[in-house]
Structure 1
Amino acid sequence: MAQNPYLSSQLSRISRPSEQLRSIVRLPGPFAELPRHPILYNHPSPIHPLPSLSVNPQSPNHPRINIYAKREDHGSPLACAGNKYRKLEYIVPDILSSTPTYHYHEHHPTTLKLDGPATILVTEGAIQSNHTVQVAALARTLGLKAIVLLSRGTGGGLRASQNRDSFLRSGNVQINRLIGAEVRILNEGDPAAIDANPILEELRASGERPYWIPGGASLHALGGLGYARAAFEIEMQELELNLEGSGRFDYIFVACGSGSTVGGLLAGFKLGETGPRQVIGVLNSPTKPRSYHADRVLSFARRAAAQIGFDGNDRPNAEQTIAMDDVRLEDRFVGTGYGVLDVETTEAMRIMAQSESIILDPVYTAKVARAMMHWVREDKIQEFARQRGLEDVNILFIHTGGQAALGAYADVI
């Protein structure tokens, strides 16, 4: 499939960072030297206040709680913008390399090298995976083919649906097909849902050069770099917003699925110079215990930290810099299953839609919003302010996209 020259030139024009932005979002070396292919707009994804959810108590003994949203769902001109495009920006240079390095499946690190740039991207996810749509859209933009493997057995969204046929056709599944990806729906227990190597070998035998991107891109060696860069972007936006209180976001709430979004943020803020923030990763699946996710996040954070400069001569070792105490995960709002909406999470979606006109997705951001609103009602944030003598606490909710999945949940909402 030939790359569309006009589309490529237009995307490059739209996405190429302006000189002004280059002068604001400063990345220290060697981070600034890492190759990155622009997929996002040439301006940061916007941050705006959520006045209806913010808290302005009359009592002088209680802090004002200022809540903002960072709109990663408005971050790219490509289909169904969300947090995966930011990760993919650092993976594209390897995809287009004449000798790709990280193209293999994690269960079978192959010694087979691709004899040129990739010709087809292959990825995986749950039936309503946001990640697969963003990989498929990227493939089309690069002039590549795409295969997405959607597993019936991942999570409980399909099992909970009252109309399973519709769930298998609508939402992100429909968009994947509209984009032109080949969609393969795998049954529960299908070997390909665990190990995609037979599919990759099939493609190689047919003359393709397949590039494997694991679900969520977290297990990809470069998966944490995008959100390490986002931390510097947020620091720049904090200055522009002229925040009250500490002058920065004291709490940042973000979904924690595969883990590298949280891990990248931790690494980026550690490398930054403007002080600590409490990044709260909100888990969205009860399948694994919190300790399992915490170990993954810590591993991703340290890997990203080493890549962006922590193991250099003028920086401490990543393992010394980022510890388990830095990993803060919230697991009280996982619900009954990945992709399964419960009454409380649906209510959080309703509150956000009717108070701020923001549409959340049913799998990730709805649970993040629910957790954030619960924390605001608890005394923990107020105690944080009292200990530091702050009259204002600033909270950032990162909206990672995913609204396209709503169509598959029509029988629930």
Structure 2
Amino acid sequence: MRPKIYPQLPPPFNQIPRYPILYHEPSPIHPLPTLSHTSTTTRTPPIPRISIFAKREDQGSPLACAGNKYRKLEYIIPDILSQTPTYYYHESHPATKPLPGPATILVTEGALQSNHTVQVAALARKLGLKALVLLNRDTGGGYKTSSAPECFAQTGNVQINRLLGAEIRMYNANNPEATDAQPVLDELTKSGQRPYWIPGGASLHSLGGLGYARAAFEIAAQEKEAQLGGSGRFDFIFVACGSGSTVAGLISGFKLLEKLRRSSGEASWDRGSRNIIGILTSPTRPQNYHEERVLRFARRAGELIGLLDAEMEVTMEDVHLDDRFVGDGYGVIDDETRKALSLMAETEGIVLDPVYTAKVAAGMMHWVHSEEMTKYAPEHGLQEVNVLFIHTGGQAALSAYFDRI
């Protein structure tokens, strides 16, 4: 049996409280041989060889609908469980103030088919707390483009939220709660509850980027075990960029890792930075908005984990986002998304989700055949390029899209 890998984190990163809800062993990284072979042989020219792997975050936790949000929540739980939780925040009310005792209910928001809300609800069950989720029908176009909108609002992640015992409140763009949850939090407080607010995607939480900073160290450890060809590491890492802290955490984590390797004289550091490509999943905001947001989150995480001057060490040059695969709207399936779902299922037997990972797969396959990757190999003296696709979960939403897949 192979030894389990535990990422070795440096101080002060390893001193930040974390409540484990992932499996003890890292989420697996699986080679995708059929997709790799097809990608290489259909390229012009067929050199470099493309080796594609998937990190299965959808297999990372025993809790319901495993996915990327559980990593973020691990670093938030210690505050939730403390006697004086200090995080009580909404974009419209940026002040931080303590709760007068341990949290009794977790409150969060998202689109109708939000993966994040399900993971928060499952976490509440794990911690013995109540859960309230605010679901906005007008976030993206999934509800509006469905041929059976009432079914869309009852199946998939909505159904799982109900199964988990979460209270569900649905809104549309005309409801004040769609943009400001403060009245709901005030209502709960007046009823004797102590609500702990977790912003959508957990990215606005001050600790939201730490989970994927840790994942960077985990991936680096798995690279060594995998004995990759070419550079010996993943040259390109593709991941969804929605609220932004998954990409940001990876950026800050790899930045710190490379800094440590450089200072220790490790030979591999001089290969340059890994290419972390965030595939945007919503066209509602321009790319530069997301880039600035990711940079802000990456610097915030960097300061916490040990980058002494995150403002200088993490720059816009580290942020690579691609908005070519957002489609017609958040949660809207277009032809490219549909083809990517089918391609991954038919070649590797892997089921993606229609909102995030299918768009990432579409973007990744475009990059695999692009001039950027063709140029990258000779510039770095490589005959083989290693590509990592991060599967962030979300398959439970598929049933809501029964009419479009």
What band does the TM-score fall into relative to the shorter chain? over 0.9
* Alignment of 1:153 onto 2:153: no
Match of 1:257 among 231, 242, 245: 242
Which stretch shifts more, 214-223 or 50-59? Answer: 50-59
Q: Residue 45 of structure 1 corresponds to which residue in structure 2? A: 27
Q: Residue 390 of structure 1 corresponds to which residue in structure 2? A: 382
Structure 2 vs 1, CA of residues 188 and 68 (structure 1 numbering), >3 Å: closer, same or farther? same
Instruction: Tell me the amino acid that sits aligned with residue 281 of structure 1.
Output: G
* Alignment of 1:192 onto 2:174: no
Alpha carbons 2:332, 2:355 under 8 Å: kept:
yes
Q: Deviation string for 1:182-230 (max 9, x for gaps)?
A: 0100122211111101100111111100000000000011000000000
* Alignment of 1:368 onto 2:350: no
CA RMSD after TM alignment: 1.4
Structure 2 vs 1, CA of residues 198 and 60 (structure 1 numbering), >3 Å: closer, same or farther? closer
Note the 1:234-253 alignment, pairs <5 A.
234-253=219-238
Q: Residue 203 of structure 2 corresponds to which residue in structure 1? A: 218
Alpha carbons 1:95, 1:103 under 8 Å: kept:
no
Task: Look up the SS of the partner of 1:246 in the other structure.
Answer: coil
Instruction: Tell me the amino acid that sits aligned with residue 389 of structure 2.
Output: F
Note the 1:265-344 alignment, pairs <5 A.
265-272=250-257, 273=261, 275=269, 276-311=273-308, 317-344=309-336
Q: Residue 29 of structure 1 corresponds to which residue in structure 2? A: 11
Match of 2:342 among 346, 350, 360: 350
Note the 1:114-153 alignment, pairs <5 A.
114-153=99-138
Provide the rounded CA distance (Å) in 2 between the counterparts of 1:60 and 1:133.
44
Q: Residue 186 of structure 2 corresponds to which residue in structure 1? A: 201
Q: Residue 265 of structure 2 corresponds to which residue in structure 1? A: none
| Unmatched segments (≥5 aa) in structure 1 | 1-19, 312-316
Percent identical: 66
Provide the rounded CA distance (Å) in 1 between the counterparts of 2:98 and 2:301.
24
Alpha carbons 2:75, 2:207 under 8 Å: kept:
yes
TM-score by length of 2: 0.93
TM-score by length of 1: 0.92
Task: Look up the SS of the partner of 1:298 in the other structure.
Answer: helix
Provide the rounded CA distance (Å) in 1 between the counterparts of 2:169 and 2:180.
14
Provide the rounded CA distance (Å) in 2 between the counterparts of 1:372 and 1:59.
16
- Count the aligned residue pairs: 388
1:43, distance to aligned residue in structure 2 (A): 0.4
Provide the rounded CA distance (Å) in 1 between the counterparts of 2:34 and 2:174.
46
Which stretch shifts more, 302-311 or 375-384? Answer: 375-384
Provide the rounded CA distance (Å) in 2 between the counterparts of 1:52 and 1:41.
28
1:382, distance to aligned residue in structure 2 (A): 1.7
Alpha carbons 1:153, 1:189 under 8 Å: kept:
no
Structure 2 vs 1, CA of residues 228 and 195 (structure 1 numbering), >3 Å: closer, same or farther? same
1:109, distance to aligned residue in structure 2 (A): 3.5
